[in-house]
Structure formats: C-alpha cells, structure tokens
C-alpha cells in the first residue's frame, strides 16, 4: 500500500469537479465517472467508478477546534490496521493532506437497522483484533481517541467544556429550563456519587496497559453488511486510545445503536472480558460509576443543534424548529432513563 506524503501533493484552486478528476488521474492513472454519495457534517463522499472497480473519494473538514485532524487520524488508523491484516475495514489507496481528501476502495454492502447477536459478536471480535495489536510498537504513536477520558474525573471536565459552549452560544428558553432545572443538578449529583464510589481512582489516570484502541464512534451507524454476511466497519476519524469504559458507554448510549437486552449484555460482557484478560478488574466498578455520567454527556451531545456553530458545520437542511424540538425531547428521554436506572 502506498500512502502519499504532503510534499508530493499540491493544492489547486480548481473547482470541486476538477479536484475529483485530478485526484483520480493522480492516484488511479485514468479518468472516472463519479456521483455524490452522501457525507454529512464531518465530510463529503463521492463514489467513483472506472467501469471495472468502484472507489470512495472522501473530503474532510479542516482541523477541528480541538486540534483533531480527522483526515490524518482516519488514514493513520486504517493504514495501521491494514498493515497488520485487519480485513473488515475500508482499504486505503492514498491520501492528500493539502486537498484534505483520501481515496478508498468502495465497500459494497447494505446499511444495518438493528444489532442482532451475529452483529454483536462481530463487533466484539473486531475489538478483540484491536486489542491484539496494542502491543505493536507503532500503536503507541496513534494518539488519543476523540474526547478520551483516561481518568474518571475527565468526564466532569468534558461536561464543563460542553456546558460552557451552551453558555456562550445557546439562548433558547426551553433549553435553559431543562439544562438548569434538570440536567445540571442530576450531573452534579452523579459526579459526587462517582467520586465517592471510585475514591482515589476518580482522579487517577488509567494504567497504560488498561487503555484500549477505540474506534470511538463505533456501531452499526458506521458499518455495512456485505454479501457474505461480514460487517465492514467505517469512519475512523475519532480513533485512538481511550478507557474501554467510555467505548462501552458510547456504544450503549448512542442513539443510532438500537440494542436488545441480549445484544446489550453480550457487547458489555465481551468488552469486559477483553479488559479482564489484561488484568483490568476495576472495569465493572468504573462502568457502574461512569455509565450514567456518559448518559448525561450524551444529553449535551443530543442538544448540540441549539449551538449555532453546529448548523454551520453539519450541513443539515431540516427545519430548525423541528430538529430542536426533537432533540430536546430526546434529551429528556435520556435523562429519564438515567434517573430510572440510577434511582
């Protein structure tokens, strides 16, 4: 596999069409037909075909305000996984840091509506492959996952950062009634409760060999089922080291991850086994203390459309009032679940 270097690429002021054609000629050596194939606030995606093969050309947003370069994070992660034989990922052909795009082989598959036991098993198997590569020397250079929480107290710090964004940007009255009267007091109680439960662990960084390589945004919303029944996992823009408790919590709380009781238990126990095999016997204690806190963080994530900056980056074309009402209702439902399970 050849990965282009920044010094070998040049940025052009050409139109988007010219950029697509230029990338195809540079990396494939011939012209292609292409069509827009989706993408959202994080990227733009084109499907390219030369009559024999299909390719995915992905354009990435500029570097995030937190310094995360999604292009390099994803390309470095996939190149690393390809090198060590991981199969169920998109195959990277090349990348261009100046044009902020990368070319992959197209994944032929169908979207997945829910998580059955077969999918849950494939998800745990994939995480097991990641775990087996953590001792490889190159793995140490992969960086932290997005919003990594390598000490339990980092969940409170992340909550405070997200809260400050709402203080700076959000003005909706109904939103603030919910935030101040319901979410804030619940969050503070959960932080105090978790600090009591974990004791000294609340402030202690996770032991290095307990941290896990995490896709971070991991689930069926970023996966396709291929004709042979195997799942290909997509989107590694947030990949990196993290506490497996955060990975587990994000899987369990993600709104695009409808889980049956059986698949939920299997995923949780599967990740638990990967941790216990590394001697991380505090996984259960951390998960019990932090799972409701990650639920509170997901409430804030759901409410991001109340931030003007979210609309600028997302490219969503839906009616704003509809989106805001839907997200506030969903956040209320999440908080009700938190209170029910923690009550």
What is residue 1's predicted lDDT score, i.e. its pLDDT? 31
Q: Which residues pair with 36 in a beta bridge?
A: 46
Predicted model pTM: 0.90
Specify the pLDDT at position 48.
95
What pLDDT is attached to residue 343?
59
- Domain limits, the chain: 6-105, 117-342
Kindly report the CATH class assigned to 117-342.
alpha beta
Q: What is the mean pLDDT of each run of 10 residues along the chain (343 residues)?
A: 30 61 86 82 85 93 79 96 96 92 96 96 98 96 95 98 96 97 98 98 96 96 96 96 98 95 97 96 97 98 94 80 96 97 74
Q: How many residues does the chain have?
A: 343
Question: What is the CATH class of 6-105?
Answer: alpha beta
- Spatial CA neighbour of 126 closest among 21, 238, 259, 232: 232
What local confidence, expressed as pLDDT, does residue 39 receive?
62
The pLDDT value given to residue 314? 74
Backbone phi and psi for residue 227, each to the nearest 5 degrees, phi listed first = -60, -30
Strand positions, DSSP E, the chain = 33-36, 43-49, 54-60, 92-96, 101-105, 212-214, 223-225, 231-233, 240-242
Task: Determine the Cα–Cα distance for residues 341 and 337; give it in Å rounded to an integer.
Answer: 6
What pLDDT, on a 0 to 100 scale, did the predictor assign at position 110? 97
| Non-local CB neighbours of 268 within 8 Å, separated by 6+ positions | 248, 252, 287
């Amino acid at each position: 596999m050849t990965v282009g270097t920044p010094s070998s690429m040049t940025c052009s002021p050409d139109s988007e069409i010219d950029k697509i054609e230029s990338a195809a000629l540079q990396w494939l050596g011939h012209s292609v037909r292409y069509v827009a194939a989706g993408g959202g606030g994080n990227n733009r995606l084109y499907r390219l075909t030369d009559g024999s093969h299909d390719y995915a050309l992905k354009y990435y947003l500029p570097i995030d305000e937190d310094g995360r370069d999604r292009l390099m994070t994803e390309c470095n992660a996939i190149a690393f996984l390809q090198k060590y034989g991981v199969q169920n990922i998109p195959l990277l052909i090349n990348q261009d840091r100046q044009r902020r795009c990368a070319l992959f082989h197209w994944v032929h598959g169908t979207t997945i509506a829910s998580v059955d036991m077969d999918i849950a098993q494939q998800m745990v198997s994939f995480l097991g492959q990641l775990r087996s590569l953590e001792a490889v020397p190159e793995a140490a250079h992969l960086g932290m996952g997005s919003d990594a929480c390598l000490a339990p107290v980092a969940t409170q710090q992340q909550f405070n950062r997200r809260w400050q964004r709402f203080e700076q940007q959000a003005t909706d009255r109904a939103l603030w009634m919910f935030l101040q009267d319901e979410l804030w007091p619940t969050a503070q109680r959960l932080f105090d409760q978790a600090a009591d439960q974990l004791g000294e662990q609340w402030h202690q960084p996770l032991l290095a060999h307990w941290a896990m390589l995490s896709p971070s945004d991991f689930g069926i919303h970023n996966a396709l089922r291929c004709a042979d029944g195997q799942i290909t996992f997509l989107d590694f823009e947030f990949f990196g080291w993290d506490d497996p408790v955060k990975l587990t919590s994000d899987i369990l709380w993600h709104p695009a991850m409808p889980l049956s009781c059986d698949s939920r238990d299997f995923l949780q126990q599967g990740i638990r086994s990967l941790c216990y095999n590394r001697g991380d016997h505090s996984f259960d204690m951390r998960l019990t203390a932090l799972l409701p806190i990650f639920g509170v963080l997901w409430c804030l994530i759901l409410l991001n459309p109340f931030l003007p900056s979210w609309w600028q980056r997302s490219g969503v074309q839906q009616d704003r009032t509809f989106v805001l009402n839907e997200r506030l209702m969903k956040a209320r439902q999440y908080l009700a679940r938190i209170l029910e399970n923690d009550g």
